[in-house]
Amino acid sequence: MADIPFDKRDGFIWFNGELVPWADAKIHVLTHGLHYASSVFEGCRAYGGEIFKLQEHSERLVNSARIMGFEIPYSVEEINAACRAELAAQKLVDGYVRPVAWRGSEAMGVSAQKNKINFAVAAWEWPSYFDPEQRKKGIRLDVAKYKRPSPETAPSHAKAAGLYMICTISKHAAEANGYADAMMLDYRGYVAEATGANIFFVKDRVIHTPTPDCFLNGITRQTVIDLAKRRSYEVIERHIKPEELSTFTECFITGSAAEVTPVGEIGPHKFTPGTITATLFEDYTAEVQPKVSARATA
């Protein structure tokens, strides 16, 4: 399934209010979202038939669209329902769910005041974002050439398509050099994130993570911080300088696709996946599983 091009797959996609055959979910080549990146999206994972933190993802999608200057023509509740309908239509119990909204092709040019806002949801199987064998020993990250932009120059807190352009460039460059992904710095030179995931470090049993002031404060990031605090681990959110990397013993990244993934190397710096990384990996795995009600277990 992984080798089948996405436009050749079977099933259904929830598209502007209805489930349509996968192959029929098409847009015009002059769609504004394609030419000017006026598009926002989410990435969610379903476990055991339930989409983890769907409400938070849908709320962020609506907020991302507002940051980009448009309103999605569906409420958060309707977006939730569309995501669940798509998951069911694809007969998936575990899978990845991708809601996306974009400006259409009614007019071409930078201004798109009258363009229709489209909304769709697709879902597919996506077992692991990284190679399972690499993940066991800790993936290797290169250091990206491009930096996350200042909030004064880009809508940094929207999950907007255009912000991922430099992520694709950076990930391709890393893969060409034999790495799994890349760590990006921010516009000031501080450690920011990976190309599609937040990053954490461990030193002396204290967890350190960059302050998300110019990139997404990921939903998985927030979940893992909460799990760490439940374990009474100290979590410090702060600006981290690249030269500090040699002082950390553990490193891991988090995201809906990446989940909790150990990191073994960032450029010349080595890390050993340890107790805290393993504990949070296990805690996150348990957290995302649908909770069985007391009545069901009685």
Question: If you compute the radius of gyration of the chain from its CA atoms, what whole number of angstroms results?
Answer: 20
Write out the two tokens for 109. 């040019």
Evaluate whether 123 touches 92 at the Cβ level (below 8 Å). yes
**Residue from 159, 203, 229, 270 carrying the catalytic annotation:** 159
- DSSP annotation of 158: S
Evaluate whether 75 touches 97 at the Cβ level (below 8 Å). no
Could you give phi then psi for residue 55, rounded to 5 degrees? -55, -45
- DSSP annotation of 244: G
- DSSP annotation of 70: -
SS3 274: coil
Q: What is the largest CA-CA distance in the chain?
A: 61
Contact partners, residue 291, CB within 8 Å, separation at least 6: none
| 116 catalytic residue (yes or no) | no
Catalytic residues: 159
